[in-house]
């Protein structure tokens, strides 16, 4: 049923996972339960009528979600935005360590900011500007929402770009019309902007053209340190009706307790959720999420089974974590890192996986977030033993390091990575592997077409990745070493 939180699909999924954990000898870690309640609020935002933008020379009416993919994260029934002033704020970044402040001298309080996706390094390829083509957290859309709220903005609109986002406009479009989940907060999300979302590049181009501006040229200018944002001399009006439901979803986890230092643990994570039943495509409305993230759940359970088969129990504990609501902003893993079964400082490392393509054995082991921590070196040694090599993510501009369940651990200072064979097929080579990933992202990622196909799927590579992750984890749980962040990592100070 697509494994959406709060549905019958969740019940089926979490009961299955708890049963598998019990079967392989993993115990409940949450007060004798395999389940951790995650209190959430589900909001379905519906834009009522057109999104209206007025300027002295033009009046536009745009359709949602085709032109504007917007929602409201506020726990309010009705959001009425009337003639909110639009301000262009470059990339919407305040990064002191990079000497960058797009909001310097710009008044955006109670206004709506329009910003570029990603960060300037991507478009300049200048490695002295942020991290060149590798996205920093400042380029992630979640950060841009957070920063706009800190600046006091009423709303924030990100101009979509397939290169900077790593996916086409259909992804934020679809997300805006599906339920969005948030951890329940005492302030009803009043610290967030009243509305957030994306504007298609075509719609943004039409608006900017009335100001005599070209979108591509403006992006180039916004990449310069001396660039400063400016009012657009336009205002935006829109109405959003929110349907609000309070409920609880569940993280699922099991623990193999260590023999000497059980409070010290490593975590293997793979989110269980997907998008449930939604907008039909080609007559299919069930978003099965077979690759995203069924393959990774199988990876984690296989690793757990290997650990439970060891006769001598490791000194440290091993936790298998299946978080909820990853697709809605890593909610389950954020909640877990705030409420772990042991103090988070006792979590030695986190190994996460997501989107493991079942396309056979690979020569590489691709580390998303390569260069961040000592875990790279552990992976490198194990890869050599498998006659494989380590590589970074060739699409690091998409910011995948910030998009899956290891990231909340990293933000807490726990060395965390996301590693799998992905770029170099043993049988067919690099170009073929790249085409397989491209085909998946274009045709099946976050779509009903992400189905299990027993005729074409080859699990040999995922099995080899599981062996590697087990080997690395075994070295850590049978030692007293705490892996560290490498110099220059933005997470080192958290440890």
The CATH number of residue 451's host domain is 3.40.630.10
Q: Confirm if 333 and 408 have CB atoms less than 8 A apart.
A: yes
316 in any annotated domain: yes
Would you call 351 helix, strand, or coil by DSSP?
strand
How much is the pLDDT for 485? 95
Say yes or no: 190 and 330 in one domain: no
3 in any annotated domain: no
Say yes or no: 217 and 263 in one domain: no
How long, in residues, is the chain?
A: 495
Say yes or no: 144 and 17 in one domain: no
In the chain, how many domains are there? Answer: 2
Dihedral angle, C-alpha 6, 8, 12, 14, nearest 10 °? 10
Would you call 363 helix, strand, or coil by DSSP?
coil
Domain final position from 211, 244, 277: 244
The domain of 71 spans: 43-244
- Residue at token pair 């004798």: 32
Instruction: Check the CA dihedral 82-86-91-92 and report its sign.
Output: negative
38 in any annotated domain: no
Say yes or no: 166 and 87 in one domain: yes
362 in any annotated domain: yes
Say yes or no: 286 and 428 in one domain: yes
Q: Confirm if 256 and 307 have CB atoms less than 8 A apart.
A: yes
Q: What backbone phi and psi angles, to 5 degrees, belong to 369?
A: 95, 25
How much is the pLDDT for 181? 87
Say yes or no: 80 and 114 in one domain: yes
Domain final position from 244, 277, 311: 244
Say yes or no: 221 and 273 in one domain: no
- Residue at token pair 């903005």: 153
Q: Please, how many CA atoms are within 13 Å of residue 410, restricted to the half-sphere of its CB? A: 24
What is d(CA 171, CA 167) in angstroms, rounded to the nearest whole number?
7
Domain final position from 184, 218, 244: 244
35 in any annotated domain: no
pLDDT in tens, the chain (495 residues): 999 999 999 999 999 999 999 999 999 999 999 999 999 998 999 999 999 999 999 999 999 999 999 999 999 999 999 999 999 999 999 998 899 999 999 999 999 999 999 999 999 999 889 989 889 889 999 999 999 999 999 999 999 999 999 889 999 999 999 888 899 888 889 999 999 999 999 999 999 999 999 999 999 999 999 999 999 999 999 999 999 999 999 999 999 999 999 999 999 999 999 999 988 999 999 999 999 999 999 999 999 999 999 999 999 999 999 999 999 889 999 999 999 999 999 999 999 999 999 999 999 999 998 999 999 999 999 999 999 999 999 988 888 899 999 999 999 999 999 999 999 999 999 999 999 999 999 999 999 999 999 999 999 999 999 999 999 999 999 999 999 999 878 788 888
Q: Confirm if 263 and 342 have CB atoms less than 8 A apart.
A: yes
Say yes or no: 65 and 142 in one domain: yes
Say yes or no: 202 and 112 in one domain: yes
Say yes or no: 467 and 436 in one domain: yes
Alpha carbon 399 to its chain's center: 8
How much is the pLDDT for 395? 86
List strand residue ranges (DSSP E) for 28-102, in order.
Answer: 35-47, 51-54, 59-62, 68-71, 78-88, 94-95, 100-101
1 in any annotated domain: no
- CATH at residue 223: 3.50.30.30
Say yes or no: 217 and 342 in one domain: no
2 in any annotated domain: no
Would you call 281 helix, strand, or coil by DSSP?
strand
36 in any annotated domain: no
Say yes or no: 279 and 390 in one domain: yes
Predicted TM-score (pTM) of the model is: 0.84
Q: Confirm if 28 and 45 have CB atoms less than 8 A apart.
A: no
């Amino acid at each position: 049923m697509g494994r959406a939180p709060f549905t019958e699909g969740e019940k089926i999924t979490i009961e299955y996972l708890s049963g598998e954990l019990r079967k392989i000898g993993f115990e409940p870690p949450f007060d004798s339960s395999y389940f951790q309640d995650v209190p959430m609020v589900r909001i379905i935002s519906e834009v009522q009528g057109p999104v209206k933008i007025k300027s002295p020379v033009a009046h536009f009416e745009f359709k949602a979600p085709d032109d504007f993919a917007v929602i409201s994260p506020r726990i309010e029934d009705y959001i009425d935005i009337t003639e909110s002033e639009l301000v262009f704020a470059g990339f919407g970044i305040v990064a002191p360590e990079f000497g960058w402040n797009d909001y310097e001298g710009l008044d955006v309080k109670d206004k709506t900011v329009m910003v570029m996706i990603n960060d300037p390094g991507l478009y300049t390829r200048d490695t002295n500007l942020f991290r060149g083509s590798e996205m920093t957290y400042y380029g992630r859309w979640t950060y841009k929402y957070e920063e706009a709220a800190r600046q006091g903005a009423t709303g924030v609109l990100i101009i979509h770009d397939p290169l900077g986002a790593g996916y086409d406009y259909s992804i934020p479009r679809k997300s805006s019309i599906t339920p969005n989940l948030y951890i329940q907060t005492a302030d009803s999300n009043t610290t967030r902007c009243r509305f957030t979302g994306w504007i298609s590049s075509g719609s943004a181009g039409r608006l900017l053209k009335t100001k005599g501006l070209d979108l591509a040229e403006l992006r180039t200018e916004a990449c310069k340190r001396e660039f400063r944002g400016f009012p657009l001399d336009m205002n935006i009006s829109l109405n959003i009706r929110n349907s609000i439901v309070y409920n609880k979803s569940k993280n699922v986890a099991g623990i193999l307790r260590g023999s000497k230092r059980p409070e010290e643990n490593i975590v293997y994570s793979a989110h269980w959720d997907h998008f449930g039943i939604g907008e039909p495509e080609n007559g299919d409305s069930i978003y099965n999420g077979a690759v995203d993230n069924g393959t990774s759940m199988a990876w984690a359970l296989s690793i757990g089974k290997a650990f439970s088969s060891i006769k001598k129990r490791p000194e440290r504990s091993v936790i298998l974590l299946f978080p909820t609501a990853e697709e809605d902003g890593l909610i389950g893993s954020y909640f877990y890192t705030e409420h772990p079964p042991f103090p988070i400082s006792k979590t030695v490392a986190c190994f996460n996986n997501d989107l493991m393509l079942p396309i056979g054995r690979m020569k590489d082991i691709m580390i998303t977030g390569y260069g961040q921590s000592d875990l790279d070196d552990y992976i490198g040694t194990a890869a050599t033993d498998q006659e494989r090599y380590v590589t970074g993510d060739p699409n690091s501009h998409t910011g995948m390091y910030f998009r899956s369940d290891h990231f909340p651990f990293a933000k807490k200072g726990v060395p965390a990575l996301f590693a799998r064979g992905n770029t170099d097929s043993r049988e067919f080579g690099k170009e073929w592997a790249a085409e397989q990933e491209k085909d998946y992202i274009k045709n099946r990622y976050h779509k009903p077409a992400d189905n299990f196909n027993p005729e074409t799927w080859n699990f040999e590579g995922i099995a080899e990745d599981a062996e590697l992750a087990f080997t690395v984890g075994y070295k850590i749980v049978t030692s007293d070493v705490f892996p560290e962040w490498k110099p220059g990592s933005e997470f080192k100070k958290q440890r």
